[in-house]
Structure 1
């Protein structure tokens, strides 16, 4: 009796014929899962509170012990902050689609990346958010339902931080832990110094400035901040941001006075990495700088931190302090250079799978 015949008989004895209606396991495809921070489903109090609760309960984001942090979070912050945050989202909300710009743009990135892989029928592209909807878990379920037995998770954070890249990967792995048939997986490394990324940033700066009717005296590269204590514990984020700015400066042929690094979106009373964006624009205005522009290299898509905070609050601070002209340089979003850059990084990371 041959080996193959023996194996088939063992299978038949152990399992027997499959029952009618037994699900067919699809396989053989490769999933690409784009992930970003997240967004509330609406601007009302309950929707924003639900989103902030998930976000600010993440131990990667707030490293204060829960016994000390939760009374503050659930007793004070979640009773007061949702109204203010919801009002800020109202200023930038996509009325046509009834969603935040981050959700609109991330969907666009996924759709256009899928189109870029049109010559690869084995590739399936989905997108999910670390906080809010659509969740990373639901995106992973959609990929496996389409026969993806290999999945590349792509956190859309150029500079690594435990508060962004790591927590997105955490959520991805949590979803995997619930699966009976777990796919093989990979994750995209940070790409803060990738030539394709730096080139895409430089082209976006050049294109935007060419369309202005003024020339900025100073351009700020403003990144989301993190507490100094996180940096001291080994988070490489600050170093990644500084390197991105340096490489962008070299590509543009500027000096360190024309393009400077700052950090925004402070939260709480702890000291964060400096210099702060709001304090910097105020200082520049008082020193006689009248025209500036700001780019956000750490954000792959425009969101509340870029559209409301930078193009709203920071603009107002600069103009009130004596500034005259201000321009926000859009994020890479789902533009052609952005999609080509993401495709390049993804194809390289899929080496051996394609």
Structure 2
């Protein structure tokens, strides 16, 4: 059937009067967190409402959380978040940087996979929150003859609030399909050699361009409440292991690299040390020149371009820091695309020769 994937065919087991259908392709569906359609108030409010109503993200009881969200947070936060998005917005393309980069990743990965597999694979992307929705892309893939779908959350590290909720949404999308495709999900790849190598090469490249070597590299990971760790979420352990593997790959000493956590939200204690506080402490300790990288993000977004490059940089400089270098995410770098392609090929074994 794979030699007829471009055109609808009659299934081999079907009677002569059975309608022809497209089938025989493998869908590779990349998934990222999401982005508002615009930085103005109502698009921001819709996006934040969907994001902050997710029980995987905020697990407080609805009777307690929703009045706070709808009555206080969604009245004020769309303005502040909108201003932050506006400061990093890709005005030429009319979209957020995350959208631009995800499109580039998808195009480059599609081209690379088609070199090997031709039209047997269809590569596309979706967002957990906002557009394009997971449901719309699953429907598109099945309509294009994908009877197998590999769902690929672009989160190197597993967390309930990222990988799990993306998978949840994928499985909900499958519930709407009359003829469900066979499906697989890509597991966390925080320790995959190709990912670690791509990360190390990006740091080596950035360091080679600097006039003076930073005193320390800060690996800033997205944070989560400490309570989630105690409930069994492996995210913290996976982040720490990535830093260790990166250190070993680079051949560095322990004092040349450290792990921190950013993006606190709400009154609870979150994973520590907090990036915004720790960089200030480093400056006070005499480490006046630092570099920051965000290994948990596959693409630059509001948390890296605005939070790290503005808020965290400001905290460091106000504490006496002098040299602050943000090393971009892997984005659509060739080594990153190569790593993603390897992960795809490893996870579609048995589906394709």
Give TM-score scaled by structure 2 length: 0.94
Q: Separation in 2 of the partners of 1:184 and 1:17?
A: 25
Matched pairs, number: 338
Q: Separation in 1 of the partners of 2:179 and 2:309?
A: 46
The yes-or-no answer on 1:105 pairing with 2:101 is yes
Q: Separation in 1 of the partners of 2:227 and 2:322?
A: 36
Q: Displaced runs of 4+ in structure 1, greater than 2 A?
A: none
Give the unaligned 5+ runs of structure 2: 1-13
Q: Which of 61, 66, 71 is residue 62 of structure 2 equivalent to?
A: 66
Which residue is equivalent to 2:11? none
Q: Which of 267, 270, 278 is residue 269 of structure 1 equivalent to?
A: 267
Q: How does 1:1-80 map to 2 (within 5 A)?
A: 17=17, 24-80=20-76
Q: Separation in 1 of the partners of 2:17 and 2:188?
A: 48
Which residue is equivalent to 1:211? 209
Which residue is equivalent to 1:159? 157
Which residue is equivalent to 1:337? 335
Give the unaligned 5+ runs of structure 1: 1-10
Which residue is equivalent to 2:294? 296
Which residue is equivalent to 1:189? 187
Q: Separation in 1 of the partners of 2:267 and 2:228?
A: 14
Q: Which of 130, 141, 144 is residue 143 of structure 1 equivalent to?
A: 141
The yes-or-no answer on 1:125 pairing with 2:133 is no
Which residue is equivalent to 2:198? 200
Q: Separation in 1 of the partners of 2:340 and 2:43?
A: 31
Residue 117 of structure 1, CA deviation: 1.3
The yes-or-no answer on 1:256 pairing with 2:254 is yes
The yes-or-no answer on 1:224 pairing with 2:222 is yes
Residue 214 of structure 1, CA deviation: 2.2
Q: Separation in 2 of the partners of 1:115 and 1:40?
A: 27
Residue 301 of structure 1, CA deviation: 0.2
Q: Is the 8 A contact 2:36 2:43 kept in 1?
A: yes
Q: Separation in 2 of the partners of 1:143 and 1:212?
A: 45
Other structure's SS at 2:90 match: coil
Which residue is equivalent to 1:312? 310
| Residues 160-169 or 284-293, more deviating | 284-293
